Structure 1
Amino acid sequence: MRVTHMIIRKRTYIVLLMVIFIFVGLIFRLGYLQLYKTHWLTDKAEDLWRRDIPVEGKRGKILDQSEKELVYNISAPTVIAIPAQIKDKEMTAEKLAPILNMSQEKIFQLISKRTLMVYLAPGGRKISEDVANQILRLRLPGIALTEENRRYYPYGSLAAHVLGFTGIDNQGLTGIELVYDDKLKGQRGSISFFSDAKGREIPNERDFYKEPIHGLDLVLTLDLNIQKFVERELDKAIEKYNPEGIVALVMNPNTGAVLGMANRPTYFPSDYKNYPQEVYNRNLAIWKTFEPGSTFKIVTIAAALEEGKVNLKESFFDPGFILVANHRIRCWKAGGHGQQSFLQVVENSCNPGFVTLGQRLGEELLFSYIRKLGFGQKTNIDLPGEASGLLFKPSQVGPLELATTAFGQGVSVTPIQQVAAVSAIINGGQKVQPHIVKGWKDPVTNMYVIKNELEKGERVISAETSELVRLTLESVVANGTGKNAYIDGYRVGGKTGTAQKVGPDGRYLKNNHIVSFIGFAPADKPEVVVYVAVDNPQGIQFGGLVTAPIVKGIMEDTLQYLKVEKRKDQLELEYRYDDTRYYDVPNLIGQDIKDVRKNLQHFQLEIIGEGNKVINQLPKGDQRLPGDTMIRVYLGN
């Protein structure tokens, strides 16, 4: 085909129209992008240029039930490096090494990485203000500081096993810090800047700050003052008995709220790396399992009373042993207790008497109460590492196993299980859920966002049986093996325990016991239950002599702190020759000096001043004090 001028002209027009169409399309596309897609394009560009430096959200504080701070945060600067902005890496590493106490080679390796940002760890993580100021004065390109937080424990090792600790990245590793890490840790924010593909900062571009979200504050049921009472008594016991370990628990038996919990050995959470794992990883109050000994007899007597298998006035003769399946089970008292009532069986912690109660109940009935009270299973307290304990399987229980279980041998339990079970027995008969969290508060508004409202669980014994058990255990403290827990002015109930430890070969160890005491007060309406167990105390190995005084020290201060009023309707202590006796101090003001001497025959008397009448006295009257206390009377006319 011959190409004419007309064809050439048409083709030119077509090409021209196509070029015009393309240009118009480009103009429309450009206008669309500039007018309607501005923010989208800007966001895409900023995503390519933006570099983020993380800023930690503050971890929530941990408070006691009165909202006193047990754990909080302190500022801890951290050194970061942006490798692309460091021009002289050798010089930078050389200057930083002595300040951060790191090798020059290690720092050079870190700042040479092909990455946006790197922490100069470990020496540059969570440094002191002094070290941070030294870094700032160097003005090194590509070296910056970001703020992190470090956990601070104002009371040192107090409640260490409850609180736990966090790692270098503020993640919970043990204790309550681990259980509630998600709520405590909050969310990260960031400081953002713009840089080119090589990581060099783009000039004249502003930085952006995304505020972090702080974690919630955790309010515990622990009471700081009660916890201090517990820690003090354990320290005294360590010094006196040099045991392998001690565990102590204080709980409200009506709610299950744990008011105090401590172990020995203990550790400092801020310095946990210098302690063995078996110390900081084991909260003995919930982890340790052992044969409870005679504290378990509370379960047996409660079950026997509930089922009508015993009358406390009923007579029982103890020859010092009882034969079960051709085995002689001895009483702790050589020669036995002789003729006694079943109330005295409990007061004297008489093993043959409790074996008899176990036999009356039978395997099925006794073990049903044991299981209903929570033994053999976790209490599900909100702490990590809880053990379940061990019970005989039904197929394993014969006459001998039934007998030993009745007085606390052959079963394995945890301290928290014992406290929870005794709480149910003495609070009117209903189970409670042991817990250590009271609620969660917003750190900004200081208002509760979650509050732990727990109700009592199933009934295990009647209120009438619960009252009878309380009176029985009060008699144990006034007249029996628990005398060393007697507190003048308070109605105290309790039970001693002395259990042989089992060795690696499954045999009982000689002269190696766990001694314990569980006490509660006031006995008619308990507000607090205290449990202490001491592992292999040196010298004395009886619960009534070792642990009852420890419980008394904790309980007496706790009752006074809780403003529980003293009363005069408690059982009178059956004194031994070496017991401290208490007497009522009369109000002497207005009395004639001749009568004063007659009224103070149990006390020492100091007379101050002249005259015939008493115008003042110290201590004041109408209280009970130990005999031989000095009473000062001031005379006048």
Structure 2
Amino acid sequence: MVILLLFAGRLTWIQAFEADTYAEAAANLRMQTKDIPTLRGQITDSEGNPFALSVEVRDVFVDPEEVPEDERDQLIDELVTRFDLEEEAVAGKVDAKPSRYQVVAKEVPPGDWQEFQDLGLSGVGADVDYERVYPEETGAADLVGFVGAEGHGLEGLEGYLDSTLAGEAGKHQVEVGQDGTQIPMLNGLVRKPEAGQDVRLTLDRDLQWYAQQALADRVEELEAEAGSVVVSNKEGEILAMADFPTYSQTDIASSEPEDRSNGAVASTFEPGSTNKVITLAAALEEGKTTPETVYTVPYSLQYYDQTFRNSTDNGTQRLTTNGIMAQSSNVGTIKIADQVGAPVLHRYMTGFGLGQPTGLALPGEEAGVLTDPDDWWGTQLPSVSIGHGLSVNAVQMASVYATVANGGVRVEPSLVSGTVDPEGEFTAAEEPDRQRVISEETAERLQLMLEAVTSDEGTAPEARIDGYRVAGKTGTANRIDPETGRYDEGGYTATFAGFAPADDPELVVQVVLHNPQDTYYGGEAAGPVFNDIMSFALKSYEVPPTDQEAPALRLVEDEDEDADG
């Protein structure tokens, strides 16, 4: 009896003094806050052509309590037929009383939903949502990446720029019934959704597609393991970044991680002879040599315990610095490197951007390896001078040649032009860092030397383009076998880097082929890809043909002339 009196007293107290508090707590248990989807920003090229965009869709639901019995069969039939659904699953949701909310179809195009709605059937509705769409055949999957099931960026630019693209979902309150049904509330809006910003890239969509196709064709033709292409202007703006192998953004499940890796920044390699441009740049800038300085260049050179050789045995030659570049002489370059010295060469290599991040901050980027000159052992200087004993990525080497094309001023590579807010206002990205690495005079001398590489006397006549003067450099380097850690059986990396027009540079193309079979020399393997892509780019950007012949450079000594080394 005493216990009953205590309970009765407590109940009276609650009803008299705490009723509002308990009522509020009960209401809160019935209320939940639900996200309102927002529009994710687009990723576009420089002209606004989309690489990724979101389109409005509908999530169709039924309210079983509102479906009249005489419309049930027709409703099920129409849902199954129009939205390609399983009849048994739809029937189960239509009959799921006492539920008030059962989603039957997701990502339905608005037009299809409108046609369904025009039937006038009861007990069916739709919520607005957004689907991420990737246009076919852009050739940019490895760069752009994709979003996950929840709409958040997972890889590539979609992941890296997620906070910019995502916007902020809205919030509204729903009342949750005893069966878990969510019932939207009138005046339940907590926060309006805020659309994400579009990201405008420096890329050219047509050039991106063409570069991807040209690269894929050559990789498959030569049965290479992989390849990358970077196209930029001389100011370091990336116009195309292609990679192979690649994948379909509409079929992520069938892809492997290596298919989705952006090899242009994630794959490092020894640059081989493309690195010689830095060695000669340092020597010219430091006054250690001139374009016409003559060197005695034997086929091989003993350096401590290692023998360095030229790629072709032409005996002992008397080559100018021009000729050493044109013929890609390893021995000649090593002699010039000895004049420069390790600390100075290392300083120029870092000045050109090697051994450090590109500045693009792309997911998976590898900065490569460039050891401190204090750690260079006996044969490290000659090895590094000809592009061995260090590693780079494709964007880094493209930047080296863009620097030469830009008169010696290195502009940090850039990929994002800016953002566009939901009102259409464009905000430009921060200006990239600029730094003079070599003088304009040295750059002009290098431009002429690199042009000689594409002459009949050079190593890459395959890179020439009718009507244009072309400058560039081949590269062929051994690859380390990842299983043994040795060069034996590792294959080769074939590269070509260059710019055009050589007399007034505008465009830069870097081609990398990893382990091509049969044909692996840079000029023969990568040169044709450079030619193909550069030809397309020059026409696309309506670059006028060259109206002057290239000056004749002296590649070998004149008779009765003394050599310097």
- What's the TM-score bracket when you normalise by the shorter of the two chains? 0.7 to 0.9
Match of 1:447 in 2: 425
Match of 1:542 in 2: 521
Which of 453, 463, 468 is equivalent to 2:440? Answer: 463
1:470 Cα deviation after fit = 1.0
Match of 2:465 in 1: 487
1:57 Cα deviation after fit = 0.5
> Residues 358 and 49 of structure 1: is their aligned pair in 2 closer, same or farther, counting only changes over 3 Å?
same
- For 1:84 and 1:337, the matched residues in 2 are separated by 95
1:555 Cα deviation after fit = 0.8
| Higher deviation after alignment, 493-502 or 303-312 | 303-312
> Residues 79 and 261 of structure 1: is their aligned pair in 2 closer, same or farther, counting only changes over 3 Å?
same
> Residues 200 and 407 of structure 1: is their aligned pair in 2 closer, same or farther, counting only changes over 3 Å?
closer
Match of 1:223 in 2: 204
The amino acid that maps onto 1:500 is N
- For 2:418 and 2:271, the matched residues in 1 are separated by 32
Kept in 1, the 8 Å contact 2:230–2:395? The answer is yes
Which of 469, 476, 480 is equivalent to 1:502? Answer: 480
Which of 111, 115, 126 is equivalent to 2:107? Answer: 126
| Higher deviation after alignment, 53-62 or 555-564 | 53-62
Which of 324, 332, 335 is equivalent to 2:311? Answer: 332
Match of 1:58 in 2: 39
Match of 1:267 in 2: 247
| Pairing 1:528–2:507 present | yes
Kept in 1, the 8 Å contact 2:450–2:472? The answer is yes
1:35-77 CA deviation, whole Å, 9 max, x = no partner? xxxxxxx999987765555331111111110111222122333
Match of 2:557 in 1: none
- For 2:352 and 2:216, the matched residues in 1 are separated by 32
Equivalent pairs, count: 519
1:481 Cα deviation after fit = 0.9
| Pairing 1:73–2:54 present | yes
1:510-532 CA deviation, whole Å, 9 max, x = no partner? 48211010010122332111000
1:202 Cα deviation after fit = 8.2
1:474-511 CA deviation, whole Å, 9 max, x = no partner? 12112411211111221211000001111132221348
| Pairing 1:420–2:375 present | no
| Pairing 1:348–2:348 present | no
Match of 1:287 in 2: 266
Describe the SS at the equivalent of 2:379: helix
| Pairing 1:373–2:362 present | no
The amino acid that maps onto 1:363 is A
The amino acid that maps onto 2:396 is Q
1:319 Cα deviation after fit = 2.1
For 1:137-216, what aligned pairs fall within 5 Å after superposition? Answer: 145-156=126-137, 158-189=139-170, 206=186, 211-216=192-197
Match of 1:477 in 2: 454
1:533-571 CA deviation, whole Å, 9 max, x = no partner? 111222211111111111111111111211111122132
1:101 Cα deviation after fit = 6.2
Which of 207, 224, 227 is equivalent to 1:243? Answer: 224
> Residues 202 and 494 of structure 1: is their aligned pair in 2 closer, same or farther, counting only changes over 3 Å?
closer
The amino acid that maps onto 2:46 is Q
> Residues 239 and 290 of structure 1: is their aligned pair in 2 closer, same or farther, counting only changes over 3 Å?
closer
- For 2:305 and 2:183, the matched residues in 1 are separated by 92
1:311 Cα deviation after fit = 1.8
Describe the SS at the equivalent of 2:434: coil
> Residues 99 and 486 of structure 1: is their aligned pair in 2 closer, same or farther, counting only changes over 3 Å?
closer
1:453 Cα deviation after fit = 4.1
- For 2:156 and 2:552, the matched residues in 1 are separated by 41
Match of 1:323 in 2: 302
> Residues 188 and 81 of structure 1: is their aligned pair in 2 closer, same or farther, counting only changes over 3 Å?
farther
Describe the SS at the equivalent of 2:279: helix
> Residues 564 and 334 of structure 1: is their aligned pair in 2 closer, same or farther, counting only changes over 3 Å?
same
> Residues 147 and 509 of structure 1: is their aligned pair in 2 closer, same or farther, counting only changes over 3 Å?
farther
1:573 Cα deviation after fit = 9.7
- Percent identical among aligned pairs is 30
> Residues 83 and 350 of structure 1: is their aligned pair in 2 closer, same or farther, counting only changes over 3 Å?
farther
Match of 1:13 in 2: none
The amino acid that maps onto 2:480 is V
1:210-261 CA deviation, whole Å, 9 max, x = no partner? 642211111110001211221231132134212111100001122x210000
- For 2:399 and 2:32, the matched residues in 1 are separated by 54
1:131-165 CA deviation, whole Å, 9 max, x = no partner? 97999899897x86423222212233521111111
- For 1:103 and 1:534, the matched residues in 2 are separated by 53
Kept in 2, the 8 Å contact 1:293–1:497? The answer is yes
The RMSD of aligned alpha carbons is 3.8
Kept in 1, the 8 Å contact 2:501–2:546? The answer is no
| Pairing 1:432–2:408 present | no
The amino acid that maps onto 2:350 is R
- For 1:488 and 1:452, the matched residues in 2 are separated by 37
Give the TM-score normalised by structure 2: 0.81
Give the TM-score normalised by structure 1: 0.73
For 1:8-157, what aligned pairs fall within 5 Å after superposition? Answer: 53-78=34-59, 125-126=106-107, 145-156=126-137
> Residues 54 and 250 of structure 1: is their aligned pair in 2 closer, same or farther, counting only changes over 3 Å?
same
- For 1:568 and 1:372, the matched residues in 2 are separated by 34
The amino acid that maps onto 2:47 is S
- For 1:237 and 1:337, the matched residues in 2 are separated by 36
Which of 504, 511, 516 is equivalent to 2:495? Answer: 516
> Residues 558 and 289 of structure 1: is their aligned pair in 2 closer, same or farther, counting only changes over 3 Å?
same
The amino acid that maps onto 1:466 is A
> Residues 454 and 129 of structure 1: is their aligned pair in 2 closer, same or farther, counting only changes over 3 Å?
closer
| Higher deviation after alignment, 537-546 or 335-344 | 335-344
Which of 405, 410, 417 is equivalent to 2:389? Answer: 410
1:337 Cα deviation after fit = 5.8
Kept in 1, the 8 Å contact 2:509–2:530? The answer is yes
- For 1:258 and 1:384, the matched residues in 2 are separated by 16
* Structure 1 stretches lacking a partner, 5+ long: 1-25, 27-32, 34-41, 575-637
